[in-house]
A and B are shown apart, each in its own frame.
Chain A
């Protein structure tokens, strides 16, 4: 499994070919979202929702060996694309790695509006939720449960 930092650098490299064209960037993000594996219907519950002001994200974690595997979906195409990028970066990593690494790629691909000031989407809340799940798993490991 590649390092979280490396995957993010890969993403930034990919997006650099789009030459900061906003429409091409979000079109590409949308296409990436379409490739996300289908989210299990039974997991589409209120409990698994990460709420934003405008878009919803469904997120589930699962511990496989010592890796945290995430599945996710969104009701908006662009958020779903961004979510697929987060899955690519964080899913399959250890809880420790998830907690220790910063997410810096959205800003570098011109999507910084999604992680700071805007309440309009579930993206920022999703990063926080992924880290919280990792924290919970890490705490379990530490306490030997």
Chain B
């Protein structure tokens, strides 16, 4: 496939593919900087969803009729596209979920409950999203396993020295975020995987924030599981992926019971379907899975390199402009960082900033971003988070920085 080189990267052309961006909010041109919460969707994704419901809607894997065959074909084509996208060995290693959260819960319950026992250790970091903390806390309650925490440093990086101290023969699972949603930090996954594997632990990667920014390659990462969501990578909401290595997935118990996940059912006993269907009980979110393929195609068409170059430029421009603002306090300034700027302005509550920015049509996220331990670590209520995507522009960042300057004046009377 032909990808867009840096010279040919035309952000205006890309913007034109996103209908939602062309609107006024509170009388101003919309500036959407809440991409880490969810990205907007290009027309090809929206069209695929419409086409599915207008032409092909049918239940999958069982019907003998033409529509059922079309729907099944398209659904499975997305699975193949995901497998290629993350460089998995085979499509069967790709389980569709409703999102990253479900993927993490699935591993905790279907793997963790079967293989962990009292005294075993599970390691997460202090920068995890709540969805990569709570499922493990539940598992600890169920099994008697113990949850350990890798602390973070002042600039928002993992304390790898502490990780080395914490990891030991009792560590059975290390579940770690690839890119932090509240700090933007990109974590050294391959290093963590090597160390974890050396003590026999399985590694789960929360790739929710990485999927739109980084090339996800499960072979390079070496992880046992990788969970991510379609909606943060220009795809539909309600679809996620759990990648798992074949031998690990096969050993696991089913997650939920129902149709699709069985081979034979009788009241004497039930046998389960093969992977990945063993983990996909019930009618899945067919339409959104079908449309998800177009999101992958969109990212591949732009290419990770062009995407990365553009977003890093935005990050650089944003950081420079915001640093000029009096009272600017960045939260998380790791050397290796995605296009996310999390910050506070001295003396102004993030909530107030978010409200005034919205009045100017600028969408940011404010609050603790479902990472309360991070906020506790820095002893703050929350942050303002501006997260940039492929369709954002330098000009939007300039408007944003000017707006911030003006808004802050209201608080400095």
Chain A residues with a Cβ under 8 A of chain B = 21-23, 25-27, 30, 53-55, 75-79, 120-121
* Stretch of B93-101, B253-261, B298-306, B350-358 at the chain-chain interface: B350-358
Interchain CB contact under 8 A, A22 and B26: yes
Does B366 contact A54, Cβ atoms closer than 8 Å? yes
Let me know if A54 and B350 touch, CB within 8 A.
Answer: yes
Instruction: Indicate if the CB atoms of B349 and A76 lie closer than 8 Å.
Output: yes
Quote the shortest CB–CB distance from B90 to chain A (angstroms): 42
Known interface pairs A22-B26, A23-B360. Does A53 touch B367 (Cβ–Cβ under 8 Å)? yes
The residue of chain B having its C-beta at the shortest distance from the C-beta of A52 within the complex is B351
Determine the distance from Cα of A30 to Cα of B350 in the docked complex, in whole angstroms: 14
B412 within 8 A of partner (CB): no
- Tell me, rounded to whole Å, the shortest Cβ–Cβ distance linking A119 to chain B: 10
The reply to whether A55 and B349 form a contact with Cβ atoms under 8 Å apart is yes
Q: A-B pairs with the 10 shortest C-beta distances? A: A23-B359, A22-B359, A76-B349, A22-B26, A76-B351, A54-B351, A54-B367, A77-B352, A55-B351, A76-B352
Please tell me if B381 contacts chain A, counting CB pairs below 8 Å: yes
In the complex, how many angstroms separate the beta carbon of A124 from the nearest chain B beta carbon?
A: 14
Contact of B358 among A22, A53, A55, A77 (CB under 8 A): A22
Known pairs A54-B366, A54-B367; A26 contacts B349 (CB<8 A): no
Task: Give the residues in chain A near B355, CB-CB below 8 Å.
Answer: 26, 78
Task: Please provide the chain B residues from 349 to 399 with a CB less than 8 Å away from any CB of chain A in the complex.
Answer: 349-352, 355-356, 358-360, 366-368, 381-382
Q: For residues 49 through 67 of chain B, which have their beta carbon under 8 Å from a beta carbon of chain A?
A: none
Of B356, B381, B382, which is within 8 A of A23 by CB?
B356
Is B367 a contact of A26 with CB atoms below 8 Å?
Answer: no
A120 with B360: CB separation less than 8 A: no
Whether B411 sits at the interface, judged by CB under 8 Å, is: yes
If A22-B358, A26-B356, A54-B367 touch, does A78 touch B26 (CB 8 Å cutoff)?
no
Residues of A within 8 A of B324 (CB): none
Residues of chain B lying within 8 A (CB to CB) of residue A26: 355-356, 359
The listed residue (A21, A22, A53, A78) touching B352 by CB distance below 8 A is: A78
**Which residues of chain B are near A76, meaning CB under 8 Å?**
349, 351-352
Q: Contact at A120–B410, with CB atoms within 8 Å?
A: no
Interface CB pairs A-B, < 8 A, 23: A21-B27, A22-B27, A22-B358, A23-B356, A23-B359, A25-B359, A26-B355, A26-B359, A30-B352, A30-B410, A54-B368, A54-B381, A55-B349, A75-B349, A76-B349, A76-B352, A77-B349, A77-B352, A78-B351, A79-B351, A120-B351, A120-B366, A120-B367
Kindly provide the distance from the CB of B169 to the nearest chain A CB, expressed in whole angstroms: 41
Which B residues are in CB contact (< 8 Å) with A21?
Answer: 27
Report the nearest A residue to B360, measured CB to CB.
Answer: A23
Point out the residues of chain A lying under 8 angstroms from B367, CB to CB.
53-54, 120
A77 with B411: CB separation less than 8 A: yes
CB distance from A80 to the nearest CB of B (A): 9
Q: Which residue of A lies closest to B382 (CB)?
A: A54
Give complex CA distance A120, B410 in Å.
22
Partner of A75, one of B26, B359, B381, B411: B381
Q: Give the residues in chain A near B366, CB-CB below 8 Å.
A: 54, 120
Shortest Cβ gap from A39 to chain B (Å): 16
Contact of B410 among A25, A27, A54 (CB under 8 A): A27
Chain A residues near B26: list those with CB within 8 A: 22-23
